């Protein structure tokens, strides 16, 4: 009975204070008075990021800081603090658009060495906790600030009060995998969700085609983790993998205006990129169910963790951890892991010696980052799992078979896709499909139909094979009798068949 009375009291308080604070935000200030973002143009006439363009080296982002909701993989609605992406929203609309607009994890920041980042942060306040006047900050974890002013640590730099905006400036000089988070009351704000992925691409990506990197020949579109000068950190596809975890009791205490149980903090939802399995492999942006609290549902989990590649490609996994309570050990079942960097630094000695190492697992604590290469050259196409070996964290609270796990899908590099199989006017039949280098394509017919032998031998010189510039090829069998199938020239084949690639 006492608990019910307390809950009712809190609900009554919120029903009075929430409309009051909205009224204050909407009417007490002139439009745009609280938000002033700075986006100075790039006018120095110098190309600093290596792409050959002199006026595009400035990057502008606008983030909001406030509260919101996010759903766990078992469906539970969780109150959170977080950052939201206000980039492109007019300054005068940021307060209204971004209240309860927090995302988990925070929007991913991806920039390139040589660029200059202007990051505007607007504190939109805590709509569901109008009694809180917490300032917020941006801390780029591991960034080599020349001065502490933009570092985000409260005792050495500025923090941003509610309804205020501050512009952080970063002259980006080092590539690597970093992370970012709020550093105000860091344990509380990070546990509540104010953290995100951040990584910097190296200028070596922009090298001229045919450039020799100690014998490794760079071509347009090649990508590297670092400026390695020898191609040793080359990769084909990359994915950020940020470890995080929530304690539901801590979040509930914050929502219900209760003392926060710091000493009793125990994470029960272990996640990758803000989701527990199987939500980690859902490619869609996930919306919360804030309507359960009488509010509007909003997109709150934009980052999935499904890792996809073609056989033979190298996968770069950009691991980071901002967990406030535990170390986590992570492994990939069936694919060797090579560690090539740690703490946004390549594992290369001053003399150029590679200190890369192969491992079956890595262990990360809060604030640590590692760069991992998965070479799929000898990996069969199929689905593999990346997960924590701490088995008690492979659950979504009380729901088993979830938590800190995702899937790696390795596809056949040359999947067969039939574009057409038709009969021609001269009585021949032509199959057109995507090219299959080094493969033999056979067709197995249904209903016991047996065509001329050459039809089942795609590499038979008797066939007329044509390669097309769009990556497809076609081949024609002049021994096929269309009358046996009851078709006329130009008809698409309707008889059942199965295409086999060997």
Based on the fold, state whether residues 297 and 368 are members of the same structural domain: yes
Q: Provide the CATH number for the domain around residue 153.
A: 2.60.40.420
Last residue of one domain, picked from the residues 387, 411, 435: 411
- pLDDT by residue (tens digit) across 75-123? 999 999 999 999 999 999 999 999 999 999 999 999 999 999 999 999 9
Last residue of one domain, picked from the residues 363, 390, 411: 411
Q: How many domains does the chain divide into?
A: 2
- The verdict on residue 49 lying in a domain is yes
Distance CA 44, CA 47 (A): 9
What would the two tokens of residue 161 be? 């009060």
**pLDDT lower than 70: segments of the chain:** 1-34, 414-502
Based on the fold, state whether residues 154 and 78 are members of the same structural domain: yes
- The verdict on residue 343 lying in a domain is yes
Distance CA 471, CA 433 (A): 9
Q: Which domain holds residue 440?
A: 418-501
Q: Please, what is the average pLDDT of the chain?
A: 84
Based on the fold, state whether residues 160 and 177 are members of the same structural domain: yes
The CB density around residue 305, as the number of other CB atoms within 10 Å, is 25
- The verdict on residue 13 lying in a domain is no
Based on the fold, state whether residues 110 and 249 are members of the same structural domain: yes
Distance CA 240, CA 322 (A): 13
Based on the fold, state whether residues 428 and 404 are members of the same structural domain: no
Based on the fold, state whether residues 407 and 423 are members of the same structural domain: no
Question: Which DSSP string do the residues of 349-378 spell out, in sequence order?
Answer: -TT--B--EEESEEEE-TT-EEEEEEE-TT
What would the two tokens of residue 302 be? 């934009």
What's the pLDDT at 422? 63
Based on the fold, state whether residues 155 and 74 are members of the same structural domain: yes
Distance CA 334, CA 83 (A): 36
Distance CA 501, CA 208 (A): 38
Based on the fold, state whether residues 371 and 458 are members of the same structural domain: no
Contact criterion met (CB below 8 Å) for 184 and 154: yes
Last residue of one domain, picked from the residues 379, 411, 443: 411
What's the pLDDT at 413? 75
Based on the fold, state whether residues 332 and 422 are members of the same structural domain: no
What's the pLDDT at 458? 43
- pLDDT by residue (tens digit) across 460-499? 444 444 555 555 555 554 444 444 444 454 444 444 444 4
What's the pLDDT at 3? 36
Based on the fold, state whether residues 428 and 383 are members of the same structural domain: no
- The verdict on residue 207 lying in a domain is no
Q: pTM of the full predicted structure?
A: 0.80
- The verdict on residue 350 lying in a domain is yes
What's the pLDDT at 493? 44
Based on the fold, state whether residues 433 and 297 are members of the same structural domain: no
- The verdict on residue 293 lying in a domain is yes
What's the pLDDT at 416? 55
- The verdict on residue 152 lying in a domain is yes
Contact criterion met (CB below 8 Å) for 303 and 277: no
Could you tell me which of 63, 136, 66, 56 has the C-alpha nearest to residue 99?
66
- pLDDT by residue (tens digit) across 393-403? 999 999 999 99
Based on the fold, state whether residues 310 and 458 are members of the same structural domain: no
Distances (CA, A) of 402 to 69, 104, 281, 297, 394: 20, 18, 11, 24, 5
- pLDDT by residue (tens digit) across 42-84? 999 999 999 999 999 999 999 999 999 999 999 999 999 999 9
Distance CA 267, CA 43 (A): 48
Distance CA 279, CA 331 (A): 19
- State the burial class of residue 8 (Cβ atoms within 10 Å of its Cβ: 0-12, 13-18, 19+): exposed
- The verdict on residue 206 lying in a domain is no
């Amino acid at each position: 009975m006492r608990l019910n009375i307390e809950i009712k009291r809190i609900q009554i308080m919120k029903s009075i204070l929430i409309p009051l604070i909205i009224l204050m935000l909407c009417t007490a200030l002139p439009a745009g008075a609280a938000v002033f973002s700075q986006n100075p143009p790039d006018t120095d006439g110098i190309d600093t990021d290596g792409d050959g363009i002199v006026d595009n080296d400035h990057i502008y982002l606008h983030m909001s800081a406030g509260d919101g909701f996010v759903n766990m993989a078992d469906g539970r609605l969780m109150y959170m603090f977080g950052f939201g992406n206000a980039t492109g929203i007019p300054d005068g609309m940021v307060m209204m658009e971004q209240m309860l607009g927090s995302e988990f994890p925070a929007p991913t920041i991806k920039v390139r060495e040589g660029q200059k980042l202007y990051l505007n942060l607007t504190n939109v306040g805590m709509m569901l906790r109008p009694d809180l006047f917490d300032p917020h900050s941006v801390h780029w974890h591991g960034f080599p600030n020349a001065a502490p002013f933009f570092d985000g640590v409260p005792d050495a730099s500025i923090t941003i009060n509610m309804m205020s905006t501050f512009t952080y400036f970063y002259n980006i000089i080092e590539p690597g995998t970093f992370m970012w988070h709020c550093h105000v009351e860091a344990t509380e704000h990070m546990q509540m969700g104010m953290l995100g992925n951040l990584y910097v691409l190296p200028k070596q990506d922009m090298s001229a085609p045919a450039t020799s990197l100690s014998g490794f020949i760079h071509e347009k579109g090649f990508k590297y983790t670092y400026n390695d000068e020898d191609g040793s950190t080359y990769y084909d596809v990359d994915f950020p993998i940020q470890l995080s975890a929530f304690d539901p009791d801590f979040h509930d205490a914050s929502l219900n205006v209760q003392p926060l149980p710091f000493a009793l903090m125990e994470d029960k939802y272990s996640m990758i990129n803000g989701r527990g399995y199987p939500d980690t492999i859902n490619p869609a942006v996930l919306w919360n169910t804030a309507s359960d609290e009488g509010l509007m549902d909003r997109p709150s989990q934009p980052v999935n963790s499904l890792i996809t590649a073609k056989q033979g490609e190298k996968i770069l996994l950009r691991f980071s951890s901002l967990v406030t309570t535990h170390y986590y050990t992570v492994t990939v079942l069936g694919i060797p892991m090579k560690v090539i960097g740690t703490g946004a630094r390549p594992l290369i000695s001053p003399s150029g010696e590679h200190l890369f190492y192969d491992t079956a697992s890595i262990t990360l604590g809060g604030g640590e980052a590692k760069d991992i290469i998965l070479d799929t050259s000898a990996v069969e196409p199929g689905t593999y799992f990346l997960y924590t070996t701490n088995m008690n964290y492979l659950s979504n609270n009380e729901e088993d078979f979830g938590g800190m796990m995702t899937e790696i899908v390795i596809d056949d590099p040359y999947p067969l896709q039939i574009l057409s199989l038709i009969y021609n006017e001269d009585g021949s039949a032509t199959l057109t499909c995507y090219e299959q280098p080094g493969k033999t394509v056979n067709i197995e017919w249904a209903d016991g139909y047996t065509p001329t032998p050459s039809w089942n031998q795609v590499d038979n010189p008797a066939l007329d094979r044509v390669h097309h510039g769009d990556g497809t090829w076609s081949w024609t069998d002049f021994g096929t009798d269309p009358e046996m199938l009851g078709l006329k020239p130009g008809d698409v084949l309707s008889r059942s068949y199965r295409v086999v690639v060997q």
